[in-house]
Chains A and B, each alone.
Chain A
Amino acid sequence: MVAAEPAVKIAVRDLTIRYGARAVLEGVSLEVRAKEVFGIIGPANSGKTSFLRALNRMDSFAPSMKVEGQILFNGRDVRAWRNLYSLRRRIGVVFPLPVGLPLTIYDNVALAPRLAGVRKKEDLDVIVERCLMRAALWDEVKDRLDSLGSLLSGGQQQRLTIARALSQEPELLLLDEFSIAVDPVTTMRIEDVLKDLKNEITIIMVTNLVQQARRLADRMAFFLGGECVEVGEKEDLFAGKVKDPRTTAYMEGRFG
């Protein structure tokens, strides 16, 4: 990566997201530091997913989604980015439901490097093996790389999705409730992978599981009804040092 990486990876200022006339997120301002795991917790409909979608300009897929305010990625407004493809190449995304593309396992992981212009078989082999290894999937699939990725089990497909996201060599990884369709053992394996990754890339993780945020996050935000109620160090939040008592109430499971 570039030697002088900015300390602030993502700076969001006064972000408002609307679908049609309905605002799902209003006036959110926060910063995500480079190479930290930033957890976002909050009940359903709190705007967590919309927040992630705005970061890599997924609003351009949905005509009704309107984004106002500023999102700076490495200090540059994502909406001033002329080449959206190069922006998205730097940001890996993993969704709640795994998407194994109907390609072979090998081609799933080799897709992004190929799009970026890697042609040599040897280079692709190295990338595929490394990404599958890091996503804790290599041992299970190394003998059948040419079978279809979409025929793997749910948990395996989710790890394939993560391997694919890693194959982009992203600077930023967005995870949206990645463990919702995955069994607990696989979840723990993926969490181990994320712990390894966090020294190398920035991770923003939306999760419904407060304990998962506790295990992985450095800092956390609490979203509620389209509002960012709280941002702080994980230790502080779990120690009860909060600005808004609703944060503690949610984390202790008293509502949500």
Chain B
Amino acid sequence: MFAPTSLNARNRRTQKLVKLLFLLMTLLLVLPVLMILGVLVARGGPMLSVEFLLTQPTKGMTAGGIFPALIGTVWLVAVALLVSVPVGVAAAVYLSEYAPENWLTRTINLAIINLAGVPSIVHALFGVGAFVLFFGFGTSILAASLTLAIMTLPVVIVATREALQAVPKAFREACWNMGATRWQTIRRVVLPNSISGILTGIILEVSRTAGETAPIMFTGAAFFLPFLPQSVFDQTMAMSLHLFVISTQVPGVPEGLPYGVALVLVLMVLAMNALSIGFRMWLRGRKKW
């Protein structure tokens, strides 16, 4: 219709340039992930075997498998979730659905953001003070998991709150106008339609919990234990700490071993993330509005 002007052409050139720039930045983001995975697979891959996963470390942790650490990480994550999910989801429901808009709510929201910003080593010291000493749990799975739970609570709360907020306000008002109470509205309309976001948040929390080292170092994870934990009051080995220990504290560890441990840990976390992505896609397929 109109002949292209020089201005038009310039706009198009700028547009192409900007797009290219953004694409480059995105690729830059992918690069470290690929490099980490590449190195781990190349050096740690040969270590992987069923035996590696299912046997004890031997010869002062310079040989053998990682079974106690693997099981220990599962324990730590499970107990941490048992605490942080109910507390976090309930808190998020309160903040999103009940809390009045006032200084107290604003303070609580600020506290959550700050909690997320506290370095993990500080959480570790808090865990020693509160759970190991004050509550007398000793260095145990319970103390370590509680520390992890406190540390990851903001993840659960923020993810849940955002999932709840994504449910349109009109749905709530329609329910309230029918005489539904807040709780009836939450149970019948809000929660069923935000469950995918909440579960995604929880799975992200799992992967974060599994990888943390500092918070469990002083509260419940052990250097080396020849047996598996029998209850939450036992100490346990953990993947993350085991990796730290064999990389820095033990002489004579063969070069491939730490890479093997790291690879298993990363694969655990990636599997969790893949699960979360798959789940989200499945739920998006049945999105209801």
Chain A residues at the B interface, C-beta cutoff of 8 Å: 56, 58, 61, 63, 85-89, 91-93, 95, 97, 99-103, 111-112, 115-116, 148, 150-151, 161, 164-165, 168
Contacts and interface: CB of A to CB of B under 8 A. Distances in A.
Contact of A63 (B101, B174, B180): B101
Most chain-A CB neighbours within 10 Å: which of B179, B189, B289? B179
Contact of B177 (A86, A88, A150): A88
Interface string B89-104: 0000000000011000
List of 6 A-B pairs having minimum Cβ-Cβ separation, nearest first: A89-B179, A102-B288, A150-B289, A88-B179, A99-B174, A93-B177
Contacts of B180: 85, 111-112, 115
A196 B113 CA distance: 56
Given A111-B188, A115-B184, A150-B288, A99 B178 contact: no
Nearest to B287: A102
B179 A168 contact: yes
Contacts of B189: 101-103
A116 B193 CA distance: 22
A248 B181 CA distance: 44
A92 B192 CA distance: 24
B233 interface: no
Contacts of B174: 95, 99, 101, 161, 164
Interface string B4-28: 0000000000000000000000000
B175 A61 contact: no
A89 B184 CA distance: 14
Interface residues of B, number: 20
Contacts of A85: 179-181
B178 A112 contact: yes
Nearest to B178: A112
Contacts of B181: 85
Interface in B142-194: 170-171, 173-181, 184, 188-189, 192-193
B93 to A, nearest CB: 17
Contacts of B173: 58, 61, 99
Nearest to B171: A101
A171 to B, nearest CB: 13
13 contacts: A85-B180, A86-B179, A87-B179, A88-B176, A88-B179, A89-B178, A99-B173, A100-B289, A101-B171, A111-B178, A111-B188, A164-B178, A165-B178
A174 B26 CA distance: 52
Contacts of A168: 178-179
Given A103-B189, A115-B184, A56 B177 contact: yes
Nearest to A56: B177
A102 B193 contact: yes
Given A111-B180, A164-B174, 8 more contacts: A58-B173, A89-B178, A99-B174, A101-B174, A102-B171, A115-B179, A161-B174, A165-B178
Nearest to A107: B188
A56 B100 CA distance: 20
Nearest to B170: A99
Contact of B289 (A86, A93, A102, A116): A102
A217 B248 CA distance: 84
A180 to B, nearest CB: 14
Most chain-A CB neighbours within 10 Å: which of B174, B184, B189, B289? B174
A150 B184 CA distance: 19
A97 B173 CA distance: 12
